[in-house]
Structure 1
């Protein structure tokens, strides 16, 4: 090789290397945004507490940094005094991982009062959380509270100290937490900073809430969906905004089953940080209770009108909404020929109207081919309405991930 050619090749190589370095130097950093990784729906009418500490288990669906809590007195009618808040990684039960406990502040204050109907974000914490990691959030309530803002059916375990036992938020050992509960109290979300990630909200009733799934197993279909997305190398936060007994059009008579989907949708779905997609699976409680608007008998057009309302709310917020067909329910006590006709008509509208930004056909995935109005026996938890853990996994498997990863 001549000296001239060698010099030329070296100049080309240096030029290419320089260009690569310049491109790397000018490439925009990965965008970070606030992403809700856990966000249960909250309702009215929980128990009251007095000078005791609540320690609640939170299961993060996605990892991130700079964690924040959302503390909520949204559904309570009296102010709430909060004496102290902490968060830690869970070791087991009510026991925290030693050295992981962080004090939580709001506007740099360690104790504060939440107004009736109020919610607040904590100050960000220098804390990293991993996908699937369990956290322990502890609240000390120094005075008698009114009825709490809560999520009744957590299908997870919370730990309570005795009334009058004082502030146990700094405890690493869980020994002073003498009672357990399967509800969450005064806590409506956890968010983190995450790069190029978003939140998917699974919005619905007890089927989405995980009724009849094993406690602490995280075997709800939204949990299984989060696992599928991670395995597909498209991790996203999936939060469960299911609420047992909830209806699309009307408030449930049991106050812990919440306001109608139309009323709670903006708070429980659209306001979750980082949300870009909602999956809607709801309506079977409207049908099963013949709960039309203004006390009238329900029609398919009534329920379709409710879906159109939710679609309009989502689109006005710039959020995609995926419609899911209602599962079969023969034998559950909800079924009758007229009610089945409404379910079929609404499912057909979901499939064919083009009103949603995509469709998930849970009905087709879960029904018995020989008896299409019946839940397949291997997916039935026993009440002919709610899927078991295998059924929840089948629901997650029925979702075309391309709907969620565009």
Structure 2
């Protein structure tokens, strides 16, 4: 599950959906099948990526989602994952992963196509492509591993949804969820029983909203195994948003998109060769510093701390050029399994992330931490203000986005403005729009005038 930074509200809900999810993910009995073993880099729990995992030149990640942990075993069904391309691209590759698995995951078949209509599982006629791995349709990904597919001849336009269908019965489920779900991608459809990866229609994919479960149906905010889509694109690289629930999209209620999606839409107003793709590496409940997770001691709730997933979730992404770092709320807030962290712990983690990113040639934009409803003068609020002062004036970052100033209530800066409020830790859809609007595209070397003129008109 994806706890909120405060932990209390969603911890109370954990027993209401996580236990049913584990029970529903019953093991499927299937005959073993020969499959090509994955040879790509290790997952986040296995340390730095090995030599040879350097992203190829001429490609950029046009979409990503960071997996959170392992939750049960896949039934005998197909998962049609829905992802939205941030920029146009061709020659698409897909990365699928088993980063938290306790055993190998065998993918017996995999396809990619263009989703025909939002909220429905059918594909654009003629868009279905088979995914292969070193020329073979099957692949086995070891525990802690991931694998990229071979490129496929498929073109996707900016803001168009892709459907990546995976059939892996009896495989450990590595997932990404951010309850309560948003109405927009990421999302998935779980099929009726069997291999439906090659279905172009939706007869085998019920479209009733089943929330966070393993029942056949529509599952907004939920993905299995799929992590990255990259391709050849006229864009000049990728911005990776590294963060927690406020980047993943938790509680972005109100029918809108996440701030990362809205940032991509702003960038789409620029000429193609002046664009940058946007990849979302948010995990709800994630911490920026190395510490026990405040909400879950199992290691399958909220992903590894940000420094321990840099290689996997940022550096491995093709075309990565910039990072937007929005993390620290979970550290400062604390929870049942970890006390609130001091500002110095968060700042030290930020220093490490920036230092390592700079060593890889990436620039890092720091984002200030948004209100948390902690009383003025309290230790938590004092630490948040200290972190924000460092982000604004410490000289560590290549640029700064003041998200705190964009959404705080001027009459009570410990809280969101009512129009942007979802709960004490998360902005609603209007708040996500305000965050996207607060980002100066000049921080990434982009001319922002046309983007702002278009929105003003």
TM-score by length of 2: 0.76
Q: Does 1:193 align with 2:232?
A: yes
2:429 to 389, 401, 404: 389
**Partner residue, 1:158:** 188
RMSD, aligned CA: 2.0
Q: Is contact 2:256–2:430 with CA below 8 Å preserved after alignment?
A: no
**Partner residue, 1:235:** 275
After TM superposition, list the pairs within 5 Å mapping 1:195-234 onto structure 2.
195-214=234-253, 219-233=257-271, 234=274
**Partner residue, 1:267:** 312
Q: Distance in 2 between matches of 1:261 and 1:317?
A: 16
Deviations 1:29-80 (A, max 9, x none): xxx8110011111122223213221111111111111011111112211111
Select between 311-320 and 44-53 the one with higher mean Cα deviation: 44-53
- Cα gap change, 1:355/1:326 in structure 2, threshold over 3 Å: closer, same or farther? same
**Partner residue, 2:201:** 173
**Partner residue, 2:107:** 82
2:143 to 108, 112, 116: 116
| Deviation at residue 336 of structure 1 after TM alignment | 7.0
Q: Is contact 1:287–1:342 with CA below 8 Å preserved after alignment?
A: yes
- Cα gap change, 1:269/1:171 in structure 2, threshold over 3 Å: closer, same or farther? same
Q: Distance in 1 between matches of 2:202 and 2:61?
A: 27
1:104 to 112, 118, 131: 131
User: Which of structures 1 and 2 has the bigger CA Rg?
Assistant: 1
3-state secondary structure, aligned to 1:247: coil
**Partner residue, 1:22:** none
Q: Is contact 1:88–1:96 with CA below 8 Å preserved after alignment?
A: yes
3-state secondary structure, aligned to 2:233: strand
Q: Is contact 2:235–2:275 with CA below 8 Å preserved after alignment?
A: no
- Cα gap change, 1:82/1:297 in structure 2, threshold over 3 Å: closer, same or farther? closer
Q: Distance in 1 between matches of 2:203 and 2:235?
A: 40
Q: Is contact 1:60–1:130 with CA below 8 Å preserved after alignment?
A: yes
Deviations 1:89-145 (A, max 9, x none): 11131111121111110000011211111111111101111100001111112x422
Q: Distance in 2 between matches of 1:196 and 1:72?
A: 26
| Deviation at residue 299 of structure 1 after TM alignment | 1.6
Q: Distance in 2 between matches of 1:317 and 1:398?
A: 27
Select between 255-264 and 148-157 the one with higher mean Cα deviation: 148-157
3-state secondary structure, aligned to 2:324: strand
- Cα gap change, 1:175/1:290 in structure 2, threshold over 3 Å: closer, same or farther? closer
- Cα gap change, 1:79/1:39 in structure 2, threshold over 3 Å: closer, same or farther? same
Q: Is contact 1:201–1:241 with CA below 8 Å preserved after alignment?
A: yes
2:360 to 290, 299, 317: 317
Structure 1: which 5+ residue stretches go unaligned? 1-31
Structure 2: which 5+ residue stretches go unaligned? 1-56, 207-215, 447-457
Deviations 1:158-183 (A, max 9, x none): 11123xx2211111111112323231
Q: Is contact 1:211–1:386 with CA below 8 Å preserved after alignment?
A: yes
TM-score by length of 1: 0.85
**Partner residue, 2:394:** 353
Q: Is contact 1:251–1:258 with CA below 8 Å preserved after alignment?
A: no
Q: Distance in 2 between matches of 1:228 and 1:50?
A: 40
1:144 to 170, 188, 194: 170
Q: Is contact 1:266–1:313 with CA below 8 Å preserved after alignment?
A: no
Q: Distance in 1 between matches of 2:334 and 2:229?
A: 34
Q: Distance in 1 between matches of 2:123 and 2:101?
A: 29
- Cα gap change, 1:247/1:335 in structure 2, threshold over 3 Å: closer, same or farther? farther
**Partner residue, 1:289:** 334
- Cα gap change, 1:196/1:222 in structure 2, threshold over 3 Å: closer, same or farther? closer
Q: Distance in 1 between matches of 2:388 and 2:340?
A: 19
3-state secondary structure, aligned to 1:256: coil
Aligned pair count reads: 365
Q: Does 1:299 align with 2:342?
A: yes
Q: Is contact 1:46–1:256 with CA below 8 Å preserved after alignment?
A: no
Q: Distance in 2 between matches of 1:161 and 1:372?
A: 46
3-state secondary structure, aligned to 2:116: strand
